[in-house]
Amino acid sequence: MEGDVTVNVEYSTINYKDGLALSGRSPVIAKFPLIGGIDLAGTVESSSHPGYKAGDKVVLNGWALSQTHHGGYAQRARVRGDWLVKLPQAFTTRQAMAIGTAGYTAMLCVLALERGGVTPDKGPVLVTGANGGVGSIAIALLAGLGYQVIASTGRMHEADYLKALGATDIIDRATLSQPGAPISSARWVGAVDSVGSHTLVNVLAQTQYGGTVAACGLAQGPDLPGSVLPFILRSVTLAGVDSVNAPFALRQQAWERLARDLDPGKLESTATEVGLADVPGVALRLLQGNVRGRTIVDVNR
């Protein structure tokens, strides 16, 4: 396809959006035929872009991949150099996709909380969808930065996994997923939410005065059936986080912070590796809520 950089792809990954695309549950793929995969990491083969040269290690998250441009589920990709970020030396291409778009999104959420003035001394932070890709990396990042992390999950049997990532408290997602009061007792100063719908409404209703909630997903639904009360009575901020079209400077900042703040051991504990032929099955299980952490795709096997 059109582009000024050719990349030898080494790894991709499976994100929630990939599951939506491959299953057809959401019209992510806007033209056919199209190679899926919303992210990739690899080595530049050739480039006419001034920012990249042969041999550079690069990562690509979002933009038009798996929507109107061939994605990461291939051994080679022709892309726009403006979409790429040079991979920090701290990471291999495999580690970059252990992070993937989900982990990069988690870092964008952490940055949003920091911009909102959420600091570890102000109180606990909630992470919903804790067993998923965004949730797992968000817990590891926040715990590493000194936050007290409350993890919300529908898989309470995974408590040991979540605590190993750094969560100090585990709550059942059922306590947040049903319609609730427009405003409730304050429990956390911030939150990373990848679930949406009633869960996000209840998260907002229980956020402390002046707190910030970073919203990046819709696993429960895209609706927001709530009230303005958290905003006008507690000055709560709802910070939207988009990973697809984020500007280059923000992407670069996120990857630099991931290199600095993410514990490699915790990252590896979230990761499972599969081959290209395994992608459809894993994507379906992910949508069913049966995949823990991050799934790396080795596109060369």
For residue range 221-259, list pLDDT tens digits in order: 999 999 999 999 999 999 999 999 999 999 999 999 999
Q: pLDDT tens for residues 89-108?
A: 999 999 999 999 999 999 99
pLDDT beyond 90 at 166: yes
| 82 plus 168 within the same structural domain | no
Q: Which domain holds residue 71?
A: 5-87+270-298
Residue 159 counted as domain residue: yes
The whole-model pTM stands at 0.95
Output the domain CATH number for residue 179: 3.40.50.720
Convert the pLDDT of each residue in 105-124 to its tens digit.
999 999 999 999 999 999 99
Token pair recorded at residue 142: 């926040």
Do 114 and 236 belong to one domain?
yes
In a 3-state reduction of DSSP, which class is residue 238? strand
* Amino acid sitting at position 224: L
Q: Examine the domain organization and report whether 129 and 226 are in the same domain.
A: yes
Query: What integer pLDDT is reported at residue 295 of this predicted model?
Result: 96
**Residue 221, token pair as written in the block:** 């639904």
Phi-psi region of 62 (alpha: psi -120 to 50; beta: other; left: phi over 0): left
Q: Token digits for 128?
A: 């919903």
* 15 neighbors 101 (Cβ within 8 angstroms): yes
- Flag whether pLDDT at 289 surpasses 90: no
Which stretches of 19-118 are assigned E, i.e. beta strand?
Answer: 39-47, 57-61, 76-79, 85-86
Predicted local confidence at residue 153, as pLDDT = 96
By DSSP bridging, strand 39-47 and strand 57-61 are antiparallel
